[in-house]
Structure 1
Amino acid sequence: MVKARNLLNGCIAGGLALLLAGCGERAPVNLLEKAQAPCPQVGVISDAADLTRFRAGGGSDLTALVVNAQVSGFQAKCDYTSRRDGLVVTLTPDFSAERGPAAAGPSLDIPYMVAVVDDSDRVLSRAEYSLRVNFPPNVAKVKSTGEELSITLTGGVAEAARRRVLVGFVLSPEELAANRRRGPR
């Protein structure tokens, strides 16, 4: 019994030694190389999530409606910058749009924006884009995807992760006031 136990202990010790020796032969692993980058908060500006645009001079009657659109969501992913001193946010916004009776053709250009704000809601950067929405014959409502955007946030990873990336429509003062009166949909 003692011989069997000594033999078993010897096998375990030998196997453990081989495992440890095998570990020492490998090159050191860079854990940061495979680390998941933190993402800043990405969201939709509630006051600019909807766009209800009427024909100029037509009032707010349904017959003067050009387009009714919503920011319906987004896809976002984050990675480190090449020097690992900031973050790169890749953002693709999604929209839905309904063509109104006053629309002048089968396609519309809808302006939207992406802003980066700090933790005090101060706008650090803002860029405007245009989404071309095409309506097939006899189709009034479509879903569209904006272009894939790459936003670089500098100033260190921790600071970049505290920022927020926000998507919304570019609105006139009247459209913004209407959204605030109506509230979120």
Structure 2
Amino acid sequence: MPLLRPAFALMLIAGLGLAACSGNRDNTRPPPCPRVGILGDANKGVQYRPGPGRDLTDVTFETELLDYNGDCRYEDRRAVVIVRFILQVAATRGPAATQDEAQVPYFIAVVDKQQNVLAREDFVARIPFEPGRRRVVVGEELEQYIPLAGRHTSELEILIGLVLDRDQLEKNRRDRGF
């Protein structure tokens, strides 16, 4: 059974971080939501047309994960946390773009404090371009079911990143000064 269920929605979302958790059945305060973060090394990508060229004239789309906004709730006596959020994904058409839709592959992973991947799933954001539009931002609605298996949410983190090849990842690291 997949841990994530995507639903596509075109909308621009404002705000940062996750709101406080809801679904409190008793008078005790629920645990906090798991931390969510966009990986700095995997938040931007450049897609090129097929072939060896890698200059500006070969760019089909520049893509970016911008932000997220959401909340969480607990079920099954706090044995499962359900995290819902909307991820902003942007694409900018490049000079080599011939398609009317950018396909932006990204992943969501749940990791523990030692950064061990407990679950990971890949997605593709489909970003349609109307004639004359150069940049489009969409909101990807996601819902993640995380069985806690005795863990506290402070021991878990949800990481989001673009699916990049080695060259793209190294370029991002160089651009960030690593």
Is residue 156 of structure 1 aligned with residue 150 of structure 2?
A: yes
Query: How far apart are the structure 1 equivalents of 2:102 and 2:119?
Result: 26
Report the counterpart of residue 177 of structure 1 in structure 2. 170
| 1:56-135 aligned within 5 A | 56-135=50-129
The residue matched to 1:147 in structure 2 has which SS?
Answer: strand
Q: Which moved more, 1:36-45 or 1:144-153?
A: 144-153
1:30/1:164 Cα in 2 relative to 1: closer, same or farther (>3 Å)?
A: closer
Kindly report the root-mean-square deviation, in angstroms, between the aligned alpha carbons of the 2 structures: 1.8
| Runs of 4+ off more than 6 Å | none
Q: Which moved more, 1:149-158 or 1:128-137?
A: 149-158
Query: How far apart are the structure 2 equivalents of 1:54 and 1:166?
Result: 26
Query: How far apart are the structure 2 equivalents of 1:78 and 1:161?
Result: 13
What is the CA-CA distance between 1:171 and the residue it aligns to? 0.6
Query: How far apart are the structure 1 equivalents of 2:95 and 2:141?
Result: 27
Q: Rg: which structure is higher?
A: 1
* Percentage of identical aligned residues: 31
Relative to its length, the structure with more helix (as a share) is 1
Which AA in structure 1 matches 2:144? S
Report the counterpart of residue 167 of structure 1 in structure 2. 160
Q: Contact between 1:87 and 1:153, CA under 8 Å: does it hold in 2?
A: yes
The residue matched to 2:141 in structure 1 has which SS?
Answer: coil
What is the CA-CA distance between 1:58 and the residue it aligns to? 4.0
What is the CA-CA distance between 1:157 and the residue it aligns to? 5.4
Q: Which moved more, 1:120-129 or 1:143-152?
A: 143-152
The residue matched to 1:138 in structure 2 has which SS?
Answer: coil
Query: How far apart are the structure 1 equivalents of 2:145 and 2:164?
Result: 22
Q: Contact between 1:37 and 1:79, CA under 8 Å: does it hold in 2?
A: no
Is residue 30 of structure 1 aligned with residue 22 of structure 2?
A: no
User: What TM-score results when the alignment is normalised by the length of structure 1?
Assistant: 0.76
What is the CA-CA distance between 1:125 and the residue it aligns to? 0.9
Relative to its length, the structure with more strand (as a share) is 2
Query: How far apart are the structure 2 equivalents of 1:30 and 1:154?
Result: 19
Unpaired stretches in structure 1, ≥5 consecutive residues: 1-28
Q: Contact between 2:79 and 2:147, CA under 8 Å: does it hold in 1?
A: no
What is the CA-CA distance between 1:145 and the residue it aligns to? 0.9
Highest relative contact order (Cα 8 Å, sep 6+), 1 or 2? 2
Q: Contact between 1:41 and 1:162, CA under 8 Å: does it hold in 2?
A: no
The residue matched to 1:117 in structure 2 has which SS?
Answer: strand
Q: Contact between 1:42 and 1:76, CA under 8 Å: does it hold in 2?
A: no
